[in-house]
Amino acid sequence: MRASAVLQATWQRTRRPRTWGAALLFGLVWNGARILMGMPEPGLLELVTPSLWVALFLVLAPLPWQWTGEDAPVAGPLRGAAQALPWMGALTLAVLLLLGVAGGPPPGRGLRPGLGMGLAEQGGHRRGMGFHREETRLLPIHPRFWILGVAHLSFGLLLGWILADRERAEQQEATALRAANEAQARVLQGQMNPHVLFNAISGLTELVREDPVAAETALVNLAELLRALLAQGSRLLAPLGEERRLVELHLALERLRLGPRLRESWDWPGDLDGLEVPPLMIQPLVENALKHGIALAVGGGELRVQVRRAGDQLLISVANTGPAPTEAESPGLGLSNLRERLNLLGASADALNLRRDGDWTVAELRLAVKA
């Protein structure tokens, strides 16, 4: 990984419940074992140190194994070990210094009242017995802590490699799943192109006999609609302005067919057209409003399209008057396709909502956009 990706992965580890769950569990087991062995009641620092130590392992140990300077998720064994050895050595030394300064002598080597005096009273003056606080050391670390340090270093090297390799496998699995979902979303998106054209052509058959001039204009618009659909292609993201163009071409065809029966109102700020969203998201909602609402009403109806932004969410509302959809009525291909694509692209289950509001049937869609 590159430096930015390594830092992001490290930050994600600090936010995982299992990281702190494992640290807490280890701390409980450690302190429980101390109590069962009859050791003195630990102070606050001794109580939380085991959990913090394990958390330090889980968060920082994989870091040198993951840094490669390129897109590879894990360094090779030799390079990873060469990077991890000084890294874990520095962390181990820091922990030992912290224990040496804050913790004093290790368990079992503290001063016990009367130990030295008892030996003197018995006439047994023995050099080297007892704990001497004036003992001269290169570092304020008791020799017994070095054994713990070697275990810390060895375990850290092994654990770092295991965690880094596990995260590599999880990343590859997530990448493969995302690629599969995107491929299936492209297939579903490809199904929409002939579906849109089929509905448009079906609506034009009436014009050929009734109004040949309008039919000629409609064929020109149909060609533009086909060109817009081909421009969308299999892209997963496209500017919102292209979706707007697609909706306008679709409505241009419907105006020729429905005439004054179709009444529209738009609330779509132009400064949103540069946002990138999954294509063919709004057009199915407009098509559904026309086909199942306005076209079925004797006097036609009103279509209201509203697009606005709220933070990192794009809120889309397509409302129409006309007959209310019945519960027995199955959703059309356009809406079913849209729901399935939203699911594959990771949208929430309530991203698309259909409801009845008085005389209006309202379709509401929420899409995530870059902040």
Q: Is residue 30 part of a domain?
A: yes
| Average pLDDT, integer, range 173-185 | 71
> DSSP alpha helices (H): ranges in the chain?
3-14, 17-36, 44-60, 63-66, 77-103, 115-121, 143-210, 212-232, 240-258, 283-289, 333-344
Residue 131 lies in a domain: no
Give whole-number Cα distances, 224 to 217, 241, 249, in Å.
11, 15, 7
* Mean pLDDT of all residues belonging to the chain: 78
Residue 156: predicted pLDDT: 82
The answer as to whether 114 is a domain residue is no
Average pLDDT over residues 244-268: 88
State the distance between the two ends of the chain, measured CA to CA, in whole angstroms: 25
> What total of structural domains would you count in the chain?
1
Q: Which carries the bigger pLDDT value, residue 214 or residue 15? A: 15
What band does 45 get if pLDDT is binned at 50, 70 and 90? confident
Q: How far apart are CA 253 and CA 259, in angstroms?
A: 10
pTM score: 0.54
Return the higher-pLDDT residue of 274 and 193: 274
The answer as to whether 116 is a domain residue is no
Highest mean pLDDT among 106-110, 327-331, 343-347 belongs to 343-347
Within a domain: 90: yes
**Is pLDDT of 133 > 50?**
no
**337-356 pLDDT tens trace:** 888 888 888 888 889 999 99
* Structural domain for 80, as ranges: 3-104+139-175
The structure tokens listed for 29 are: 């087991």
| Dist CA 61 CA 16 (whole Å) | 15
Q: Which residue has the higher pLDDT, 235 or 120?
A: 235
Confirm whether 273 is domain-assigned: no
In a domain, 92, yes or no: yes
- In this structure, is residue 339 part of a structural domain? no
Distances, alpha carbon 271 to alpha carbons 246, 275, 320, in Å: 17, 9, 25
Q: Token pair for residue 4?
A: 């930015």
DSSP code of residue 318: E
Give, in order, the Cα–Cα distances in Å from 11 to each of 6, 62, 361: 9, 12, 45
Q: What is the DSSP string of 297-317?
A: STT-EEEEEEEEEETTEEEEE
- Check residue 118 and give its pLDDT: 38
DSSP 19-47: HHHHHHHHHHHHHHHHHHTTPPPP-HHHH
